[in-house]
Amino acid sequence: MDVRVDEKVAIVTGASRGIGEAIAAEFLRSGASGVVITGRREENLAAARARIADEIGDRDRLLTVVARADDRDHAESTVQQAISEFGGCDILVNNAGTNPAPGTLSDVDLGALEKTWSVNQLGPILWARSAFNHWMKDHGGSIINVASVGGMRPTPVLGAYNISKAALIFATQQLALEMAPMVRVNAVAPAVVKTRLSAALWEGGEEAAAATHPLGRLGEPEDVANAVLFLASEAASWITGAILPVDGGVIGAAGSLS
């Protein structure tokens, strides 16, 4: 099955590296007519654009926008830029997230907790509202949220982060209900993927970290990008409100293998 997003326009938040960059590149390889990537720093976005352009051989279909994930005005203006530059906003990937704030809920820094919840919970709703109101409610579309297996079960030390991803999973299902039938809303739930964001979970102990995944390896950004491409494409046209673990078996297989 050739999974494509031909002639679609996509926005990928938090795409200056890692999973977001891989998703943007995969959309371009798969026929997107335009991809907008966002991030907090101009220099990081420029570097990502150069890497993607070198890989894909096409710079004209890629637009970078400095935008914060939890800023309503940034969400509104970015969606409008996508429409102005490329003629639409057919796909939104809410990939931006914060570094986990370590600690138990009884002692985690409250400032870090508030920032985590603002970016991981409020942010995707702001971007989904903007995409829906400015384009998707009239033209249709697909929204994919990047959640986490942490949102599907409690784990030590990462409670604040896990709660934010659990909220994102519920928001995915709520938005799928509210935005149907014009818009499909789904989520992917990765386990540990080898990115800078998750480095504290695997650097210096990759073999041990990999051993906690039934498939025996950590994820790569491309593993998540492939799943997101599927959910964004017409191959998933009868799927909405789904949470797809991309986790090497951590959720589905771990219990049966123990």
Looking at every residue in the chain, the average pLDDT score rounds to: 94
Report d(CA 81, CA 63) in Å as an integer. 9
Residue 202: predicted pLDDT? 66
Residue 203 forms part of a structural domain: no
Question: Kind of pairing, strands 9-12 and 91-94?
Answer: parallel
Residue 144 forms part of a structural domain: yes
Residue 211: predicted pLDDT? 84
Number of domains in the chain: 1
Q: Is the model's pTM score more than 0.85?
A: yes
Q: Does the active-site annotation cover 161?
A: yes
Residue 95 forms part of a structural domain: yes
Question: Which listed residue (134, 161, 166, 244) is catalytic?
Answer: 161
User: At 116, which CATH number?
Assistant: 3.40.50.720
Task: With a cut of 70, say whether residue 33 has pLDDT above it.
Answer: yes
Q: Can you read off the two tokens belonging to residue 239?
A: 């799927």
Residue 258: predicted pLDDT? 46
Residue 255 forms part of a structural domain: no
Q: Please write the tens of the pLDDT for every residue from 136-191.
A: 999 999 999 999 999 999 989 999 999 999 999 999 999 999 999 999 999 999 99
Q: Can you read off the two tokens belonging to residue 169?
A: 């999973």
Q: Domain span at residue 236?
A: 9-191+221-243
Residue 257 forms part of a structural domain: no
Report d(CA 173, CA 59) in Å as an integer. 35
Residue 94 forms part of a structural domain: yes
